[in-house]
Amino acid sequence: MPARKRNIYLSGPMTGLPDYNYPAFHRVAAQLRASGHRVYNPAEFPHDGPPEEFPIRRAFASYCNFICLEADTIVLLPGWERSKGALAERQLALNCSLEVIEWRGAI
């Protein structure tokens, strides 16, 4: 039987990492999409300004909306347990009864 296609929220550490860890987010999102999954990648949140002007409240509202209303799975990138944002996203996912998967190269 073919694997089910998931609506995935991708979560992981960003703050304090080179390039905000975007390369890892983009790489994993591409792999998941190539497997047929729908992926919300927070590293793709639209913002053209400097990092210090990132609209964090608007971004988190969008992230939470997807987690609560559309996702069935959250995939956690390595280092998630040291990220306040990823910990909050994981807890929200648990509260919404999403499947929680730690990324190890595939799901």
Residue 84 has pLDDT above 70, yes or no: yes
List, for residues 10-32, the tens digit of each pLDDT value.
999 999 999 999 999 999 999 99
Nearest to 29 by CA among 14, 16, 43: 43
Residue 1 has pLDDT above 60, yes or no: no
| Domains of the chain, residue spans | 7-102
pTM: 0.93
**Average of per-residue pLDDT values in the chain:** 95
What's domain 7-102's superfamily in CATH? Hypothetical protein PA1492 (3.40.50.10400)
List, for residues 43-66, the tens digit of each pLDDT value.
999 998 988 899 999 999 999 999
Would you say 8 and 73 are in contact if contact means Cβ atoms under 8 Å apart? yes
